Amino acid sequence: MIVEAQPAPQPPLRPPHPRIPEPPRRVQVSLQIDGRHVAVDEGSTILDACRSLGIDTPTLCWAPNLTPVNVCRVCVVEVEGSRALVPSCSRPVSDGMVVFTDSERVRLSRRMVLELLMSSVDVSRAPDLLAYAERYHARSDAFGARTPYGEPGSRDLARPGQSRSVPAGAAAAIVGPVKVDNELYVRDYERCILCYRCVEACGEDAQNTFAIAVAGRGFDARISTELAVSLPESACVYCGNCVAVCPTGALMAASEYSMREAGTWDESRQSATETICTYCGVGCPLVLHVQDSRIVKATSPVDSPVTHGNLCIKGRFGFEFVQALPGGR
Amino acid sequence: MDMHLMKAQPSDIERAALDAVEALEIPGVSGAELRRSLVLPALHALNDAVGWITPGGLEELCERLDIAPAVAYGVASFYGLFSTQPLPGVAVHVCDDVVCATLGSETLCQEIEEALGPEGSPPDGVAATWFRSPCLGQCDRGPAALVAVAGSDPPCRSHAPAEPAGLLGAVRVAVSSRETHGVAGPVPARREVAPVAGSVIPGAAELTSEAWPPAAGPAGTASPAAGPAGTGPPAAGPPVARIIARVGRVDPGSLDSYRAQGGYAALRRAVWLGPGGVLAELERSRLLGRGGAAFPTGAKWAAVAREPARPHFVVANADESEPGTFKDRLLMEGDPFALVEALTIAGYATGSELGFVYVRGEYPLATARLEDAIGQARARGLLGGDVGGHGFAFDIHVRRGAGAYVCGEETALFNSIEGFRGEPRNKPPYPTTVGLFDKPTAVNNVETLCNVLQVIALGAEAYADIGTQTSSGTRLFCVSGAVSRPGVYEEPFGVTVAEVIDHAGGTSDGQAPRAVLLGGAAGAFIGPEDLDQRLSFESARHAGLSLGSGALIVFGHDADLPSALVRIARFFRDESCGQCVPCRVGTVRQHELLERLAQGAPLGSSEADLVRLDEIAAVMRDASICGLGQAAASAAGSALARLGVFDGGST
C-alpha cells in the first residue's frame, strides 16, 4: 500500500534526560569570492562558501552523501596565490582567501573538461552535464567523431601503459558492450565518466561491500569487479546504491533501462510519493516514482538522516509485489 | 566487508611465494593498514613466481591480506610490469622511448616481434613474449631492454645496449632454463646467463655491471673531474665530482670500502651537530630538492621535525622514471651506502624511526645493491635499534615499484607503498603534515639525499660556495642522445648547456644540435640559439624552463622532432593514472592531435588543431591533480613555440 506523505507529527513527550551540551561554537573564516565577502564555518569547502553566496558551481563527481574525490575537475576555481586551479569541492576555505569562480581560466578549464568528457563517452543521459555544456558552450564534436577505442569488451583486458591507435581524424571513445548480467541493473560503461561515485558508494562511503573498484590505468581505467567477472560472480549485494549515485545513467535499474530503450520512460508523466519502506524496522524513507499508476523506480532522499540516500536490495528493488496483485492493477 | 572469493586455487609455487613475503613492522601502523601495505610486495611475489597474477594467486593474496578481490585487482591492473592476463614466464620489455628511438630501438622491436610474435600475444610454441616499454633509465647505453624471467632471482635484468641476437639469445637461455628446471624451477641468476646472452658490453656498462671490480679500463682510473661516470676518459672541465666522487672507486658491495672512502663521516658529524644542528646546517646550505620541484630541503625536514603527530617517516624517491634520466640509478648502483647513510641522517634529523626507499621496478641491479647495503649496515649496527651506538633507532625498507611513472609523484608513491592504486592525492595537505600512512613525511629524491652528505661533510658555508647564489652545490646532468659520450655529468650550477654538451664530447656528428630537451618528457625544448642557457634553478626559471630531473637529451641536426613529440605524448597517455579528466582524456587528445599534425593530416586546419592543442595544454596545466598532467603538454608546447615544429603544416 502506498502511504501519502504526511506533515511532520508533533514531537512526542519524552522523559527528562540529561542536558546535551551545546556544540562548541565554530570558528568563522572570512574570504572573498568574486569580489564579495563571505564568512563561513571553519572546515567548509570553497564549494560550500560559493553555495552560501548563491554561486552555482558545476559538479560531477561531488555528491552530498559521498566524500569528495575531486577527480572530475569541473568545479575548479581560481585562488589567488595558487599556481594551478583548485577543486572547490574539496579545498577547505582559509582566512583571507581570494577566489574567482568565473575568470577566463576557470571558464576555459570547465569547458575543456566537459568537451573532453563529451568526446569520449555518451553523455545523452547525463542531464547535469548537458546543462553545464550549454552554460560553458562546450561542443561535443570538438575533437572529431567519437570512435570506438578497440573491440567491444577489449577494455576489460587492456594492459596498463599499452595504448592502441584509432583511425586518423577520430577521437578515441569508450566502447561497451552494455553489461546485462543480472535482473536488477544494467551497466553501460560507454556512458561512464569515471567519477568514482559508485566505487565510493559500494565501498567506504556506504555499503562496505567493495564489489567494484577502479581497475586499469589512464584512458583504460574502468570500473570493474575482480578480473571483470559478472556481478552475480562478484561480491555485489544489489543494494543499488551505485545506481543511485551515478550521474550519467551508466548504471541504471533494469526496469528504467528497458523503458528508456523502448522509449516509454517519461519523467513528465511521473509523480513522486514519499513513504517508509515496509520491509524491516529501520524505517528507511522511500520515494516511489510512479508513471501511469505503476511504480517504476524507488529511491531514498539524499538528505534523509536515516539513509543518506542509500537503501538495500529490498527497499530499492522489492516493489514489484505491490503491482503483482491477483488480477493485476 | 564480506569476503566473496572467486574459488580459484593458487599453485604451490604461488603459495610459497606468498609465504616468503616478509611481514613488516611499521611504527604506528597495524591491523588492516599494515596488511594492506603488503599488497605491492605480495603482487610482486606472485608476478615474479609465475610471470603473471593468476586468479588463484590473487584470491590467495586477498584471503591472506583480508582485502576485497575487486580492490586487489584494481591495484594489480594498475602497474605495467604486472599482468592479470596469462603470459609465458619470460617477458621482454623493450624501450622505445625518445632516446632509445634514436639508438635503433625500432629495429630491435621489429626483430623481437619477428621472433616472439605481436606484443603480448606469443604464437603457439613460443614461451616468451615482449612489450614496448617507456624509458628504462639506460639512456647512456641504449637501446635498452628488461627481461623478466618468472621464478628467477633476480626476477628481471637489464640489457643495455641490447642488440637483437644477444637479447634473443638471453631469451632462449631463459626459456630453456625454465624448461630444464620445469616451469617452476629456478633460473640461473644473471652472473651465469649474462655472458651467454652477450648483453654485457665491455666499456659502456663497466661501472654498473655486476662484476666488481670492473675487469679493466676506465672505471678504476677515471678521474672524477667532470667525467662521465662510467665512460671514457675525463673531459676537460672543472673537477667538481662530489656527489658521484665515489662511483667507480668504491666497491658497491662493501661497507668497509665505503668507510675507507669517507663513508659514515657525515653521520658522525650529524650526530655531533644534533638534529637541530643538522636542520640549521641544511637551511644555511640553501640546498634545493633535485627531484624537479626545487623545494628547500632544510625547510621540508624542519617542517616534519616539528610536527607533533608521530611517528614520522622519511622516504627516498628512487622511482626515477623521467625519460632521459638515469642519475639515481648510477648513484644506487655505484654508491648504494651513500643513500643508506643519507637516509639515516634524514631519519635522525626528522625524528623518524623508519625510512622507505621506493625504487622503480625496472632497476633490478640498483635494488639488489641497495638491499645488500641495507643488510650489511644492519649487520654492523648502522641500522637498527641503536644506530652506530649513537642512541637512536632507524631502519630502512626497500619497496619495488612495478612500472608506473606516476608513482614518482610523492603522494602517488605513498599510495603505492600503502597498497592502494598509485593515484596522486590532492594537495594540500602536504606530505610534511599528512604523508605516508597519513603521518608527517619527508620525501626526497636520491640525488638530494646524496647532497645532504656533502652539506654535512663540508659544512653549510663551504657547500653553499659551490654553484650560484640561489642554486648551491652541484647538479647531476644525464646527457643522452646525439652526443659522443653520453653519461652522468656532475657540474656546478651555472654551467651552460653548451658546456655540458662539450663535456660529453660534443655532438656525435660535430654539428650544432637541432634541439635539446631539458628536464625529460616533462621538461622543455630549447633550440640551438639557446645553448648558452645557464643551468641553475633561477636562470632556468627566468627563461621559462625547468631543470626538472636533470635530463639533457640532445637531438642531432637531422632529428625527427615531430616523431619525438608524438612519442612523448604517447608516454604521458600511457602513464596517466586516469584519475582526473584533464589528464586522462587530455593526454589522449594531445597524442591524437600530434599524430595528425605529424602526419600532415589535421582534422580541420593545422591552425585549428594548434588552437585545440593549446586549450588542452591549458586545462591539463591548470586543472590536473598532479604534476604529471600539469607538465604533460610542456615539451610539445615548447617545441611549437621555440622550435617552430609544425609551422606551416607538418614539418
Q: Is B533 left (phi over 0), alpha (psi -120 to 50) or beta?
A: beta
Using the Cβ of A119 and the Cβ atoms of chain B, whether some distance falls under 8 Å is answered with: yes
Which of the 8 DSSP states describes residue B294?
-
Q: How confident is the model at residue B649 (pLDDT cuts 50, 70, 90)?
A: very low
Summarize the confidence of residues B609-620 as an average pLDDT: 96
Distance CA B263, CA B335 (A): 10
Mean of the per-residue pLDDT values of chain A: 92
Distance CA B359, CA B329 (A): 9
Percent of chain B with pLDDT over 90: 85
Q: Is pLDDT of B203 > 50?
A: no
If we measure between CA atoms, which residue out of A269, A276, A277 comes closest to residue A294? A269
CA-based nearest residue in chain B for residue A160: B80
CA distances B465 to B3, B237, B292, B299, B477, Å, are 61, 18, 22, 19, 20
Task: Using an 8 Å CB-CB cutoff, list chain A residues near B618.
Answer: 105, 108-109, 112
Q: Is pLDDT of A285 > 80?
A: yes
Using the Cβ of A142 and the Cβ atoms of chain B, whether some distance falls under 8 Å is answered with: yes
The beta-carbon neighbor of A224 closest among B73, B119, B579 is B73
Is there a single domain that holds both residue A230 and residue A276? no
Task: Using an 8 Å CB-CB cutoff, list chain B residues near A159.
Answer: 80, 83, 85, 120, 131
Question: pLDDT at position B4, please?
Answer: 66
CB-based contact B585 A117, cutoff 8 Å: yes
Q: Is residue A120 included in any domain, yes or no?
A: no
Task: Using an 8 Å CB-CB cutoff, list chain B residues near A219.
Answer: 573, 576, 578, 584-585, 587-588
User: Max CA-CA distance within chain A?
Assistant: 76
The beta-carbon neighbor of A163 closest among B6, B570, B589 is B570
Q: Is residue A103 included in any domain, yes or no?
A: yes
CA-based nearest residue in chain B for residue A104: B618
Question: pLDDT at position B286, please?
Answer: 97
| B369-375 CB contacts, 8 Å cutoff, 24+ apart | B369/B252, B369/B253, B369/B332, B369/B333, B369/B336, B370/B318, B370/B332, B370/B336, B370/B339, B370/B340, B370/B398, B371/B398, B372/B253, B372/B336, B373/B252, B373/B253, B373/B255, B373/B336, B373/B337, B373/B339, B373/B340, B374/B340, B374/B398
Is there a single domain that holds both residue A51 and residue A98? yes
Closest Cα of chain A to B626: distance in Å? 10
**pLDDT digit string (tens) for B353-402?**
999 999 999 999 999 999 999 999 999 999 999 999 999 999 999 999 99
Strands A98-100 and A28-33: parallel
Do B471 and B535 meet the contact criterion of CB atoms below 8 Å apart?
Answer: no
Q: Which residue has the higher pLDDT, B198 or A194?
A: A194
The DSSP string of B87-127 is --SEEEEEE-SHHHHTTTHHHHHHHHHHHH-STT-PPTT--
**pLDDT digit string (tens) for B495-535?**
999 999 999 999 999 999 999 999 999 999 999 999 999 99
Summarize the confidence of residues A7-27 as an average pLDDT: 67
Distance CA B595, CA B599 (A): 6
Percent of chain A with pLDDT over 70: 93
Give the count of domains, chain A.
3
Give the domain-ending residue among A208, A224, A255. A255
Beta bridge partners of A77: A86
Question: A1-10, A109-118, B231-240: which range is least confident on average?
Answer: B231-240
Beta bridge partners of B312: B352
Task: Using an 8 Å CB-CB cutoff, list chain A residues near B622.
Answer: 76, 84-85, 105, 108-109
Surface of A (158-177) touching B: CB under 8 A:
159-163, 165-166, 168-172
The hierarchical CATH code for the domain B255-464 is: 3.40.50.11540
Would you tell me which CATH number, out of the four given (2.40.128.20, 1.20.1440.230, 1.10.1660.10, 3.40.50.300), belongs to the domain B561-643? Answer: 1.20.1440.230
User: Residue type at B305?
Assistant: A
CB-based contact B70 A168, cutoff 8 Å: no
Using the Cβ of A143 and the Cβ atoms of chain B, whether some distance falls under 8 Å is answered with: yes
Do B443 and B410 meet the contact criterion of CB atoms below 8 Å apart?
Answer: yes
Question: pLDDT at position A21, please?
Answer: 76
CA distances A285 to A222, A242, A307, A319, B361, Å, are 32, 18, 7, 14, 51
Using the Cβ of A225 and the Cβ atoms of chain B, whether some distance falls under 8 Å is answered with: yes
Work out the number of other CB atoms within 10 angstroms of the CB of residue B37.
22
Crossing angle for the helix pair A104-120 and A127-135, to the nearest 10 degrees: 140
CB-based contact B585 A120, cutoff 8 Å: yes
Q: Is residue A216 included in any domain, yes or no?
A: yes
Task: Using an 8 Å CB-CB cutoff, list chain B residues near A194.
Answer: 578, 581, 584
CB-based contact B589 A171, cutoff 8 Å: yes
Task: Using an 8 Å CB-CB cutoff, list chain B residues near A166.
Answer: 592
Which of the 8 DSSP states describes residue B77?
T
- Look at the alpha carbons of B500, B501, B503, B504 in this order and tell me if their dihedral is positive or negative: positive
Question: Which three-class secondary structure state does DSSP give residue A215?
Answer: strand
**pLDDT digit string (tens) for B529-574?**
999 999 999 999 999 999 999 999 999 999 999 999 999 999 999 9
Q: How confident is the model at residue B208 (pLDDT cuts 50, 70, 90)?
A: very low
Question: Which three-class secondary structure state does DSSP give residue B307?
Answer: coil
> What is the extent of the structural domain holding A81?
29-108
How many C-alpha atoms does B83 have within 13 Å on its Cβ side?
A: 23
Question: Which three-class secondary structure state does DSSP give residue B194?
Answer: helix
Q: Is residue A8 included in any domain, yes or no?
A: no
**pLDDT digit string (tens) for B586-596?**
999 999 999 99
Question: pLDDT at position B511, please?
Answer: 94
CATH 3.60.15.10 correct for B474-555: no
**pLDDT digit string (tens) for A185-233?**
999 999 999 999 999 999 999 999 999 999 999 999 999 999 999 999 9
Summarize the confidence of residues B283-294 as an average pLDDT: 94
ipTM exceeding the 0.95 mark: no
Task: Using an 8 Å CB-CB cutoff, list chain A residues near B72.
Answer: 226
Q: Is residue A127 included in any domain, yes or no?
A: no
CB-based contact B630 A87, cutoff 8 Å: no
Which helix (H) or strand (E) element contains residue A13? none
Closest Cα of chain B to A85: distance in Å? 5
Question: pLDDT at position B240, please?
Answer: 72
Task: Using an 8 Å CB-CB cutoff, list chain B residues near A113.
Answer: 581-582, 619, 623
User: Residue type at B205?
Assistant: A
* A87 phi and psi angles, rounded to 5 deg: -75, 115
Task: Using an 8 Å CB-CB cutoff, list chain B residues near A75.
Answer: none
Q: Is residue A323 included in any domain, yes or no?
A: yes
Q: Is pLDDT of A305 > 90?
A: yes
* B537 phi and psi angles, rounded to 5 deg: -55, -45
CATH class of B90-200: alpha beta
Task: Using an 8 Å CB-CB cutoff, list chain B residues near A234.
Answer: 4, 69-70
Task: Using an 8 Å CB-CB cutoff, list chain B residues near A212.
Answer: 70
User: For residues B268-300, b (16+ Cβ closer than 10 Å) or e, as one string?
Assistant: ebbbebebeebbebbbbbbbbbbbbebebbbbb
Question: Which three-class secondary structure state does DSSP give residue A51?
Answer: helix
Question: Which three-class secondary structure state does DSSP give residue B277?
Answer: helix
If we measure between CA atoms, which residue out of B477, B404, B419, B439 comes closest to residue B315? B439
Write down the residue that cell numbers 591539463 correspond to: B620
Closest Cα of chain B to A169: distance in Å? 6
The residues spanned by each domain of chain B are: 12-76, 90-200, 255-464, 474-555, 561-643
- Look at the alpha carbons of A97, A102, A103, A106 in this order and tell me if their dihedral is positive or negative: positive
| B506-512 CB contacts, 8 Å cutoff, 24+ apart | B507/B482, B507/B483, B507/B554, B507/B556, B507/B557, B508/B482, B508/B483, B508/B484, B508/B556, B509/B482, B509/B556, B509/B557, B511/B556, B511/B557, B512/B557
CA A196 to chain centre: 9
Question: pLDDT at position B198, please?
Answer: 26
**pLDDT digit string (tens) for B394-440?**
999 999 999 999 999 999 999 999 999 999 999 999 999 999 999 99
Q: Is pLDDT of A8 > 90?
A: no
Q: Is residue A212 included in any domain, yes or no?
A: yes
The three grid cell numbers given for residue B448, joined into one nine-digit string: 638530494
Is there a single domain that holds both residue A148 and residue A228? yes
Task: Using an 8 Å CB-CB cutoff, list chain B residues near A76.
Answer: 622-623
Q: In what order do the strands lie in the sheet with B312-318?
A: B395-400, B352-359, B312-318, B441-445
Summarize the confidence of residues B313-327 as an average pLDDT: 97
Question: pLDDT at position A16, please?
Answer: 61
Distance CA A181, CA A184 (A): 9
CB-based contact B426 A70, cutoff 8 Å: yes
Write down the residue that cell numbers 568526446 correspond to: A119
Do B423 and B244 meet the contact criterion of CB atoms below 8 Å apart?
Answer: no
How many C-alpha atoms does A220 have within 13 Å on its Cβ side?
A: 28
Work out the number of other CB atoms within 10 angstroms of the CB of residue A281.
5
Closest Cα of chain A to B2: distance in Å? 6
If we measure between CA atoms, which residue out of B430, B452, B429, B457 comes closest to residue B283? B452
CA A216 to chain centre: 21
End-to-end CA distance of chain B: 57
Percent of chain A with pLDDT over 90: 82
CA B557 to chain centre: 29
Q: Is pLDDT of B651 > 60?
A: no
CB-based contact A159 B55, cutoff 8 Å: no
Question: pLDDT at position A7, please?
Answer: 59
CB-based contact A218 B616, cutoff 8 Å: no
CB-based contact A225 B578, cutoff 8 Å: no
Contacts of B52 (CB under 8 A, 6+ apart): B82, B83, B84, B85, B86, B87
Which of the 8 DSSP states describes residue B366?
H
Q: How confident is the model at residue B188 (pLDDT cuts 50, 70, 90)?
A: very low
Radius of gyration over alpha carbons of chain A, in Å? 22
CA B33 to chain centre: 26
Question: pLDDT at position B221, please?
Answer: 30
Q: Is residue A9 included in any domain, yes or no?
A: no
User: Residue type at A64?
Assistant: P
Q: Is pLDDT of B206 > 70?
A: no
Using the Cβ of A193 and the Cβ atoms of chain B, whether some distance falls under 8 Å is answered with: yes
Percent of chain B with pLDDT over 70: 90
Contacts of B200 (CB under 8 A, 6+ apart): B194, B209
- Judge if the upstream peptide bond of residue B428 is cis by omega within 30 degrees of 0: yes
The beta-carbon neighbor of B71 closest among A76, A109, A210 is A210
Distance CA A150, CA A168 (A): 14
Closest Cα of chain A to B271: distance in Å? 38
Using the Cβ of A109 and the Cβ atoms of chain B, whether some distance falls under 8 Å is answered with: yes
The beta-carbon neighbor of A227 closest among B73, B79, B119 is B73
Tally of residues, chain B: 651
Beta bridge partners of A270: A291
Q: Is pLDDT of A165 > 80?
A: no
**Domain containing residue A293: CATH number:** 2.20.25.90
